[in-house]
Amino acid sequence: MKKIFLHCITIVLFASFSGIIYAQNPVYTDYMEGEYQMENAQYVEQDTIDTEPTIDRSVILQTSGVVPPSFIGGDKAMFKFIDSVLIIPNSIVENNISGRVIVRLFVDKNGKVQNPTIQQSLNYECDNAALDAVRKMPAWKPAQHNGSNVTGFAFVPVSFEAQKVYYKYTPSKAELLYQQHVLTNKKWKLIEIKNNPIPTNIAEQPYFVMSKDKKNRRIVEGNASCAAFKAKYNWNMRRWRISFNNIETNAKKCTDKDVLVIDNTVLTILKKTTEYRITEDGYLKIGREEKGVFVPLATFEPEALKSNE
């Protein structure tokens, strides 16, 4: 039974005092040229017979004579891609978590990434972050044997270690103040949906507030027009990323026939959101990236919280 070995390195992630994470996650294998210095090298051993049932085992890379699959563009392209798509959980900074997730993936004859699974776990959030990044990978160059494409496999090690970096920042007159970029502890009132003003006859003003509860968990509370809701959020200021999950509603009936209820629209927007922007006026636009362009789904204006909120 053949076995393969993979070098893994420890990647240091940097976070600002607000919990921002900067990540660098290249992939190294025995076949790379060692262009980057490798520290704390360790080996991971995996039996090649332990594979998913959807993979044709007869063509899996098992011998040293096979040219392994590789990311198109080489090591630097892989480094850049993983760094650009990896969303680091806020728990890394909040809970001072350090460690490594190793993802095993298959590359089929056409170069498509298949069956990414956790080979070595860190925690639920980090595991999912690593899997999500791997699933977004474009096609690889397939493994080859005797000039023909074959199915091969590789491991993607993603190491997590957070350090806080404190810095001073003085904005120019043309720049927004740092506080305008902070999304927490503000009442964000919905004013536009897809760049169109919201209806004037809605049940209640839709809004949300991002904060932390007594257990230091990141929570969102708000109103979708008729129904109140609670959720959790992930926020990465450095990369303009935000997402809302575990949304729970407290539905109530709005019986007035002249009142428009837009609960489903508001909640769907929150579920679809992956990125955000702050306008020159300090408004918050949330949306998602489509073909490399940010597409806003909704616009909110900030309002200072009252003492009883």
Instruction: For residues 98 and 156, give the distance between their C-alpha atoms in angstroms, rounded to a whole number.
Output: 17
Q: Which tokens in the block code for residue 215? A: 């257990």
Q: What is the DSSP letter of 198?
A: P
What is the number of domains present in the chain? 2
Closest-CA residue to 164 (of 12, 14, 10, 11): 14
Per the CB < 8 A criterion, the answer to whether 21 and 43 are in contact is: no
Residue range 90-108, pLDDT digits in tens? 777 777 778 888 888 888 9
Per the CB < 8 A criterion, the answer to whether 59 and 109 are in contact is: yes
Boundary of a domain, candidates 136, 165, 194:
165
User: For position 80, which CATH number holds?
Assistant: 3.30.2420.10
Q: Are 246 and 278 within one domain?
A: yes
Instruction: For residues 134 and 140, give the distance between their C-alpha atoms in angstroms, rounded to a whole number.
Output: 12
Instruction: Confirm whether 170 is domain-assigned.
Output: no
Instruction: Confirm whether 81 is domain-assigned.
Output: yes
Instruction: Confirm whether 135 is domain-assigned.
Output: yes
Instruction: Confirm whether 171 is domain-assigned.
Output: no
pLDDT at 198: 93
pLDDT at 280: 75
Boundary of a domain, candidates 107, 132, 165:
165
Burial of 278 (0-12, 13-18, 19+ CB in 10 A): middle
Boundary of a domain, candidates 137, 165, 193:
165
Closest-CA residue to 47 (of 143, 158, 153, 157): 153
Q: Are 152 and 216 within one domain?
A: no
Q: Are 206 and 263 within one domain?
A: yes
Q: Which tokens in the block code for residue 57? A: 């085992």
pLDDT at 267: 94
Give the domain extent around 27.
3-165
Q: Are 41 and 120 within one domain?
A: yes
Instruction: For residues 22 and 15, give the distance between their C-alpha atoms in angstroms, rounded to a whole number.
Output: 6
Residue range 33-77, pLDDT digits in tens? 333 323 322 323 333 333 343 444 434 444 456 788 888 987 677
Instruction: For residues 91 and 218, give the distance between their C-alpha atoms in angstroms, rounded to a whole number.
Output: 10
Instruction: For residues 105 and 153, give the distance between their C-alpha atoms in angstroms, rounded to a whole number.
Output: 6
Q: Are 75 and 107 within one domain?
A: yes
For the chain, 309 residues long, give each residue's pLDDT as a single digit of tens: 333 333 333 333 322 222 223 333 333 333 333 333 233 223 233 333 333 434 444 344 444 567 888 889 876 777 678 777 777 777 777 777 788 888 888 889 999 999 898 888 988 888 998 899 889 989 999 988 888 898 888 877 777 766 544 444 444 444 445 566 789 889 999 999 998 999 989 988 999 999 988 888 999 999 999 899 999 999 887 788 999 999 999 877 777 778 888 999 999 999 999 999 988 788 999 999 888 888 999 999 999 887 655
Instruction: Confirm whether 220 is domain-assigned.
Output: yes
Q: Are 125 and 200 within one domain?
A: no
Instruction: For residues 50 and 57, give the distance between their C-alpha atoms in angstroms, rounded to a whole number.
Output: 10
pLDDT at 179: 62
pLDDT at 145: 84
Query: H-helix or E-strand containing 141?
Result: strand 140-141
DSSP codes of every residue in 200-221: TTBSS--EEEEEE-TT--EEEE
Q: Are 131 and 209 within one domain?
A: no
Per the CB < 8 A criterion, the answer to whether 149 and 109 are in contact is: yes
pTM of whole model > 0.85? no
Query: C-alpha distances in angstroms, 69 versus 52, 117, 163, 226?
Result: 18, 17, 34, 53
160 alpha carbon, distance to own chain's centre: 14
Q: Which tokens in the block code for residue 166? A: 């404190």
Instruction: For residues 103 and 71, give the distance between their C-alpha atoms in angstroms, rounded to a whole number.
Output: 15
The tokens 């997730």 sit on which residue? 101
